[in-house]
A = this chain, B = another copy of it.
Protein backbone atom coordinates (compact mmCIF):
# COMPACT_ATOMS: atom_id res chain seq x y z
CA UNK A 1 0.00 0.00 0.00
CA UNK A 2 1.36 3.44 -0.90
CA UNK A 3 1.94 6.03 1.80
CA UNK A 4 -1.27 7.88 1.23
CA UNK A 5 -1.13 10.08 4.28
CA UNK A 6 2.33 11.49 4.72
CA UNK A 7 3.35 12.31 8.28
CA UNK A 8 4.60 15.85 8.86
CA UNK A 9 8.08 16.47 10.21
CA UNK A 10 8.54 17.25 13.85
CA UNK A 11 10.09 20.63 13.14
CA UNK A 12 7.01 21.81 11.25
CA UNK A 13 4.56 21.17 14.08
CA UNK A 14 3.02 23.75 16.44
CA UNK A 15 4.97 24.28 19.64
CA UNK A 16 2.60 22.44 21.99
CA UNK A 17 2.61 19.34 19.83
CA UNK A 18 6.35 19.44 19.37
CA UNK A 19 6.86 19.77 23.11
CA UNK A 20 4.70 16.78 23.86
CA UNK A 21 6.42 14.68 21.23
CA UNK A 22 9.89 15.61 22.39
CA UNK A 23 8.91 14.60 25.90
CA UNK A 24 7.85 11.15 24.65
CA UNK A 25 11.02 10.84 22.61
CA UNK A 26 13.06 11.68 25.68
CA UNK A 27 11.34 9.01 27.70
CA UNK A 28 11.15 6.24 25.08
CA UNK A 29 14.24 6.92 23.02
CA UNK A 30 12.18 7.26 19.85
CA UNK A 31 8.99 8.88 18.58
CA UNK A 32 6.15 6.33 18.32
CA UNK A 33 4.71 6.61 14.83
CA UNK A 34 1.20 7.46 16.02
CA UNK A 35 2.45 10.85 17.24
CA UNK A 36 3.58 11.91 13.78
CA UNK A 37 1.01 10.01 11.72
CA UNK A 38 -1.92 11.82 13.32
CA UNK A 39 -0.12 15.18 13.52
CA UNK A 40 -1.18 16.18 10.03
CA UNK A 41 -4.44 17.25 11.64
CA UNK A 42 -3.57 19.24 14.76
CA UNK A 43 -7.11 19.59 16.15
CA UNK A 44 -7.74 15.86 15.93
CA UNK A 45 -4.26 15.16 17.30
CA UNK A 46 -4.84 17.33 20.34
CA UNK A 47 -8.20 15.72 21.08
CA UNK A 48 -6.78 12.24 20.55
CA UNK A 49 -3.92 12.68 23.00
CA UNK A 50 -6.05 14.54 25.51
CA UNK A 51 -8.43 11.58 25.49
CA UNK A 52 -5.56 9.13 25.64
CA UNK A 53 -3.98 10.85 28.60
CA UNK A 54 -7.27 11.19 30.46
CA UNK A 55 -7.64 7.43 30.35
CA UNK A 56 -4.12 6.08 30.40
CA UNK A 57 -2.29 8.53 32.65
CA UNK A 58 -4.99 9.04 35.30
CA UNK A 59 -3.84 8.20 38.81
CA UNK A 60 -7.06 7.11 40.52
CA UNK A 61 -9.07 3.90 40.21
CA UNK A 62 -8.01 0.31 40.78
CA UNK A 63 -6.84 -0.52 37.26
CA UNK A 64 -3.07 -0.79 37.16
CA UNK A 65 -1.18 0.57 34.17
CA UNK A 66 -0.47 -3.00 33.15
CA UNK A 67 -4.16 -3.85 33.24
CA UNK A 68 -4.98 -0.91 31.01
CA UNK A 69 -2.40 -2.12 28.49
CA UNK A 70 -3.90 -5.61 28.69
CA UNK A 71 -7.23 -4.16 27.60
CA UNK A 72 -5.59 -2.34 24.71
CA UNK A 73 -3.68 -5.42 23.61
CA UNK A 74 -6.65 -7.79 23.80
CA UNK A 75 -9.10 -5.49 22.03
CA UNK A 76 -6.48 -4.41 19.51
CA UNK A 77 -5.99 -8.09 18.64
CA UNK A 78 -9.76 -8.53 18.26
CA UNK A 79 -9.67 -5.62 15.81
CA UNK A 80 -6.52 -7.01 14.16
CA UNK A 81 -4.71 -3.69 14.58
CA UNK A 82 -1.01 -4.26 14.00
CA UNK A 83 0.05 -0.90 15.41
CA UNK A 84 -1.79 -1.22 18.72
CA UNK A 85 -0.96 -4.86 19.37
CA UNK A 86 2.75 -4.33 18.79
CA UNK A 87 3.10 -0.94 20.50
CA UNK A 88 0.84 -1.56 23.47
CA UNK A 89 1.97 -5.17 23.76
CA UNK A 90 5.45 -3.74 24.31
CA UNK A 91 4.27 -1.41 27.06
CA UNK A 92 2.29 -4.29 28.59
CA UNK A 93 5.44 -6.41 28.81
CA UNK A 94 7.28 -3.57 30.48
CA UNK A 95 4.53 -2.60 32.90
CA UNK A 96 3.88 -6.17 33.98
CA UNK A 97 7.55 -7.22 33.78
CA UNK A 98 6.41 -10.36 31.96
CA UNK A 99 8.17 -10.85 28.62
CA UNK A 100 5.73 -13.52 27.41
CA UNK A 101 2.47 -11.87 28.39
CA UNK A 102 1.67 -9.69 25.38
CA UNK A 103 1.86 -12.52 22.85
CA UNK A 104 -0.41 -14.63 25.06
CA UNK A 105 -2.99 -11.86 25.43
CA UNK A 106 -2.91 -11.08 21.71
CA UNK A 107 -3.20 -14.64 20.40
CA UNK A 108 -5.60 -16.16 22.95
CA UNK A 109 -6.08 -14.38 26.26
CA UNK A 110 -7.71 -17.50 27.71
CA UNK A 111 -4.27 -19.10 27.80
CA UNK A 112 -2.49 -16.05 29.27
CA UNK A 113 -0.72 -15.95 32.60
CA UNK A 114 -3.17 -13.53 34.23
CA UNK A 115 -5.45 -13.44 37.29
CA UNK A 116 -9.17 -14.30 37.36
CA UNK A 117 -9.81 -10.57 37.87
CA UNK A 118 -7.94 -9.80 34.68
CA UNK A 119 -9.81 -12.49 32.77
CA UNK A 120 -13.13 -10.97 33.82
CA UNK A 121 -11.85 -7.54 32.82
CA UNK A 122 -10.78 -8.70 29.36
CA UNK A 123 -14.06 -10.55 28.82
CA UNK A 124 -16.01 -7.37 29.56
CA UNK A 125 -13.72 -5.28 27.37
CA UNK A 126 -14.15 -7.66 24.44
CA UNK A 127 -17.92 -7.46 24.76
CA UNK A 128 -17.76 -3.65 24.67
CA UNK A 129 -15.40 -3.97 21.70
CA UNK A 130 -17.44 -6.45 19.67
CA UNK A 131 -21.05 -6.38 20.88
CA UNK A 132 -21.55 -3.24 22.94
CA UNK A 133 -25.27 -3.22 22.18
CA UNK A 134 -25.64 -6.46 24.16
CA UNK A 135 -23.99 -5.18 27.36
CA UNK A 136 -26.47 -5.70 30.17
CA UNK A 137 -26.77 -6.02 33.92
CA UNK A 138 -25.21 -9.52 34.18
CA UNK A 139 -22.04 -8.21 32.53
CA UNK A 140 -21.64 -5.68 35.33
CA UNK A 141 -22.43 -8.26 37.97
CA UNK A 142 -19.70 -10.56 36.68
CA UNK A 143 -17.16 -7.83 37.46
CA UNK A 144 -18.25 -7.08 41.05
CA UNK A 145 -16.68 -10.10 42.80
CA UNK A 146 -13.32 -9.02 41.43
CA UNK A 147 -13.46 -5.66 43.16
CA UNK A 148 -14.18 -3.44 40.19
CA UNK A 149 -16.12 -0.30 41.14
CA UNK A 150 -18.47 1.47 38.75
CA UNK A 151 -15.67 3.91 38.01
CA UNK A 152 -13.26 1.08 37.23
CA UNK A 153 -15.83 -0.39 34.85
CA UNK A 154 -16.19 2.97 33.12
CA UNK A 155 -12.40 2.94 32.72
CA UNK A 156 -12.49 -0.51 31.10
CA UNK A 157 -15.24 0.52 28.70
CA UNK A 158 -13.72 3.90 27.88
CA UNK A 159 -10.26 2.47 27.20
CA UNK A 160 -11.85 -0.13 24.94
CA UNK A 161 -13.92 2.48 23.12
CA UNK A 162 -11.03 4.92 22.72
CA UNK A 163 -8.63 2.33 21.35
CA UNK A 164 -11.33 1.03 19.04
CA UNK A 165 -11.11 4.49 17.48
CA UNK A 166 -7.34 4.22 17.45
CA UNK A 167 -7.39 0.72 15.86
CA UNK A 168 -9.62 1.92 13.04
CA UNK A 169 -7.48 4.98 12.32
CA UNK A 170 -4.25 2.96 12.40
CA UNK A 171 -5.52 0.21 10.09
CA UNK A 172 -7.19 2.65 7.73
CA UNK A 173 -4.21 4.97 7.43
CA UNK A 174 -1.70 2.14 7.25
CA UNK A 175 0.12 3.25 10.37
CA UNK A 176 2.89 0.80 11.20
CA UNK A 177 4.56 0.25 14.56
CA UNK A 178 8.12 1.44 15.02
CA UNK A 179 10.58 -1.47 14.81
CA UNK A 180 11.71 -0.68 18.36
CA UNK A 181 8.41 -1.83 19.85
CA UNK A 182 8.72 -5.42 18.67
CA UNK A 183 11.58 -6.21 21.01
CA UNK A 184 10.85 -3.92 23.96
CA UNK A 185 10.34 -5.71 27.24
CA UNK A 186 11.35 -9.07 25.85
CA UNK A 187 14.94 -9.12 27.06
CA UNK A 188 16.29 -8.16 30.49
CA UNK A 189 17.66 -4.62 30.53
CA UNK A 190 21.31 -5.58 31.09
CA UNK A 191 21.39 -7.74 27.94
CA UNK A 192 20.55 -4.90 25.62
Contacts and interface: CB of A to CB of B under 8 A. Distances in A.
Contacts of A82: 103-104, 107-108, 111
Given A47-B47, A161-B169, A186-B183, A81 B54 contact: no
Copies in the complex: 6
Nearest to A43: B54
Interface residues of A, number: 65
A162 B165 contact: yes
Interface string A46-89: 11101101110010000000000000000001011110011000
Nearest to A170: B132
Interface of A: 1-2, 4-5, 41, 43-44, 46-48, 50-51, 53-55, 58, 77, 79-82, 85-86, 99-100, 103-104, 106-108, 110-111, 128-129, 132-137, 140, 150, 154, 157-158, 160-162, 164-169, 171-174, 176, 179, 182-183, 186-187, 191
B168 A164 contact: yes
Contact of A81 (B103, B133, B150): B133
Contacts of A58: 43
Given A106-B107, A111-B174, A133-B171, 19 more contacts: A44-B54, A80-B107, A82-B103, A82-B111, A85-B103, A85-B107, A99-B183, A100-B179, A111-B171, A135-B172, A157-B169, A157-B172, A160-B168, A162-B165, A164-B164, A182-B186, A183-B186, A183-B187, A187-B187
